[in-house]
Amino acid sequence: KSHEKAENRFNNRFQFVAIVTASTDGIGLAAAQALGKRGAHVVVSSRRQANVDKAVSLLRNENIEVIGTTCNVGNREDRERLVNMAVEQCGGIDILVSNAAVNPFFGNILESTDEVWSKILDVNVKAAFLLTKQVFPHMVKRGGGSVVFVSSVAGYQPIFIMPELRTFVKTALLGLTQALAPELAQSNIRVNCVAPGIIKTRFSAALWQSEEVANEFLKLLSIKRLGMPEDIGGVITFLCSEDASYITGETITVTGGMNCRL
């Protein structure tokens, strides 16, 4: 019965609420946009108020129902404020897209410090889990929901010139997806993951700004162009929709054909 209820909810427009973290630029913004176009009431956030304001007005101009707040996902009070805001202003939570990542370190892994490890684990992995835990009771109240983590192709296999410290936390998200899926399925909540390849955003600028480096990457691809944030936004929306109702614990690679697993 609760499954039927959830199905109706996800099929109807303007009846589900989606929190997308780190959603004022790049992949997060594209995910918020794609979910909003499918009718989600979207809650956008990132660390800087000016970026939040800009994203909210951009999405409102596209007739997307959206609210926004600042939220550094590594900060507990910020996460609580984000979740409370969604519940109070949108009436509940159906979807969580956990997209934030930081890379506080470039260089040889052996030179990374205790502080670097704490930060990278807190923001990239722990926050993804803690946010899931925070939204869980609200999804249960709605009869189900969907969680999507944003990992990376580098979670399968470190890519040349990519700082390797960043890659292992992306591998951790693949494991977290599989670990959470059976437990949350009991509450009709699906947990999935996307692993983007090289997507043209500010975050990855070092990988595409130089034509020489970009050309090296293109050699690894079947589709000879870099990915765009919208390429990922659509897949995230699919994973959150009823079209993906039988998919959980899964990671979809969206790489233009970069070979990273069987």
Residues of this chain that bind ligand NAP (CB under 6 A): 21-22, 24-28, 46-48, 51, 71-74, 99-102, 123, 150, 152, 196, 198-199, 201-204
* Six-digit token string for 133: 């835990």
Residues 192/147, Cβ–Cβ less than 8 Å? yes
- Judged by beta carbon, residue 182 or residue 206, the one nearer ligand NAP is 206
Tell me the residue type at 159. Answer: I
Task: Determine how many CB atoms are found less than 10 A away from the CB of residue 228.
Answer: 14
Nearer to ligand NAP by Cβ, of 5 and 133: the residue is: 133
What H or E segment, with its residue span, contains residue 38? none
Q: C-beta of 9: minimal distance to ligand NAP in Å?
A: 27
Min dist. Cβ of residue 153 to ligand NAP (A): 6
* Cβ-proximal residue to ligand NAP, closest one: 26
Rank residues 24 and 248 by Cβ distance to ligand NAP and give the closer one.
24
* Shortest spacing between CB 94 and ligand NAP, in angstroms: 21
Can you give the C-alpha Rg of the chain in angstroms? Answer: 18
Residue with Cβ nearer ligand NAP (86 or 102): 102
Angle at 90 between CA 126 and CA 55, to 5 degrees: 70
Nearest to 171 by CA among 157, 190, 191: 157
Half-sphere exposure of 220 (CA within 13 A, CB side): 16
For ligand NAP, give the closer residue by CB, 143 or 256.
256
**Coil/strand/helix, residue 191:** strand
Q: Helices 229-240 and 26-37, interaxial angle, to 10°?
A: 50
Task: Write down the least CB distance from residue 188 to ligand NAP, Å.
Answer: 26
Cα angle 24-198-72, degrees, rounded to a multiple of 5: 30
Residue that has been written with the tokens 């930060």 in this structure? 119
Smallest CA-to-CA distance from 92 within 35, 155, 43 is with: 43
Shortest spacing between CB 205 and ligand NAP, in angstroms: 8
Nearest approach in angstroms of CB 104 to ligand NAP is: 10
Q: Which is nearer to ligand NAP, 10 or 217 (CB)?
A: 217
